[in-house]
Amino acid sequence: MQLTQYTDYSLRVLIYLAAHPERRVKISEIAEVYDISRNHLVKVVHQLSHNGWITTIRGKGGGMHLTFPPEQINIGTVIRQTEPHMNLLECFDKPNDKCAISSACALKHVLYQARKAFMRVLDDHTLADSLGSKQAELIQIFEKRPEKQQASAQ
């Protein structure tokens, strides 16, 4: 199973915000740390805000922060909101299924079970679990990243 880049970026934004609960964070800061297009992140942040996971504040002194504590943000729920369909195979998308063996294939039922198990595991975890005992290490990585970019630009 492969999640989309959109979901990856959504989770990265949430992790970054969870690691910096004491302040508002700007999109450009996250874009720089992860070396991701700011334009991509604008779309991601808009959707995360629309879904209620983050609060954004415009203008001077603006930025964003988590709407809820990381312990209340369920990873499975976030992924369901960011993934368009979770289709593992063509046959999962009945209107576009052109597989010749689809009606007789038992493999898709195994894969349905696998997808269900995958989501069940994600449903058992929160954003806080993604930080775990590594929050201090994450912050160090986040702080070093811009220095490396500045040094390479000189």
CB 34 within 8 A of CB 19: no
Alpha-carbon torsion, ordered 31, 33, 36, 40, to 10 deg: -30
pLDDT at 146: 53
Q: CA nearest 29: which of 135, 19, 120?
A: 19
pLDDT of residue 91: 81
* Average of per-residue pLDDT values in the chain: 89
Backbone angles phi, psi at 126, to 5 degrees: -115, 170
Domain ranges of the chain: 5-153
Closest Cα to residue 63, out of 5, 22, 34? 22
Q: Where are the beta strands (DSSP E) in the chain?
A: 54-57, 63-66
How far is residue 114's CA from residue 71's CA, in Å, rounded to a whole number?
26
Q: Which of 49, 40, 39 is nearest to 14 (CA)?
A: 49
- At 86 the pLDDT is 84
Residue 152 has pLDDT above 50, yes or no: no
pLDDT tens digits along 95-116: 888 888 888 888 888 998 999 9
Mean pLDDT of the region 15-44: 94
- Provide the pLDDT for residue 87: 81
Query: Is CATH 1.10.3470.10 the right assignment for the domain spanning 5-153?
Result: no
The CB density around residue 43, as the number of other CB atoms within 10 Å, is 13
Mean pLDDT of 78-100: 87
